[in-house]
Amino acid sequence: MAPLILRRQLIDTALAMNSVGLNQGTAGNLSVRTENGFLVTPSALPYDRCRPADMVEMSLAGAVEGRKGRPSSEWRLHRDIYLARAEAGAILHAHPPWCTTLACLERSIPPFHYMVAVAGGDSIELAPYATFGTQELSDHVLNALAGGRSACLLAHHGMVCYAADLEAVLALAIEVETLARMYGQALQIGEPPLLSREQMSEVLERFSGYRQTSS
């Protein structure tokens, strides 16, 4: 069984996700990798009513382990990212206002600002629409995360990102929502000029150097 402290950390991060405005009500979901699979927030249970035992433990085969519970409807998306990205230690999916605004307009986030590279690429891509909880949606997300990207938007839906741990994934989600807000505000004035592929490559290289130094 997953450690109690990890279950509590999952609840605390889910509560923080709502308190900072990344999510509303019971929407969105959060997970963290465990030794044999992952813990994911339950379906349709408000985070302020969650107890550690309510966090659902799942295997990477998609089976609920230990104490039975109903996982988030997006458990497949979490499972598939863990299978595809060995570096993913935690995953956050939510409906932040600005990310969702762009997603509903079917817009990705282009390199209008160098900090777009914080998500691992020279853009934050848009996954095409598919019904929530489906394998089709999961497949679209994995394609949008290609090229080392760690975040993407989901058309007419929201956003998803992954990082090494719960603290890092919350920080990344906040950064992506901030970028979405700045881009959305810039679009109210006009289409912003974009950084070149060469300029973004230099930023990505510098970011990689910072991560290697701090690790």
CATH label of the domain that carries residue 80: 3.40.225.10
The model's pLDDT over 48-82, given as tens digits with 9 standing for 90+, comes to 999 999 999 999 999 998 777 899 999 999 999 99
Q: Looking at residue 96, what is its pLDDT?
A: 97
Of 51-60, 167-176, 193-202, 203-212, which gets the smallest average pLDDT?
203-212
DSSP H helices in the chain = 4-19, 75-84, 97-104, 135-144, 166-187, 197-214
- CA-nearest of 199, 201, 203, 151 to 178 is 151
Q: Which residues are catalytic?
A: 74
Q: Residue 152 pairs with which residues in a beta bridge?
A: 160
Q: Looking at residue 212, what is its pLDDT?
A: 55
Question: Which residues does 171 contact at the CB level (< 8 Å), separation at least 6?
Answer: 163
- CA-nearest of 118, 95, 82, 111 to 25 is 95
Q: Indicate the number of domains in the chain.
A: 1
Q: What domain range is 187 assigned to? A: 4-214
Cα–Cα distance for residue pair 62/204, rounded to 1 Å = 34
State yes or no: pLDDT of 3 exceeds 80: yes
Mean pLDDT value across residues 130-138? 97
Residue 71, SS3 per DSSP:
strand
Q: Are 166 and 6 spatial neighbours (Cβ–Cβ below 8 Å)?
A: no
Q: Looking at residue 25, what is its pLDDT?
A: 83
State yes or no: pLDDT of 102 exceeds 80: yes
State yes or no: pLDDT of 209 exceeds 80: no
Both tokens assigned to 88: 């993913």
Q: What is the pTM of this model?
A: 0.95
The model's pLDDT over 25-49, given as tens digits with 9 standing for 90+, comes to 888 999 999 999 999 999 989 999 9
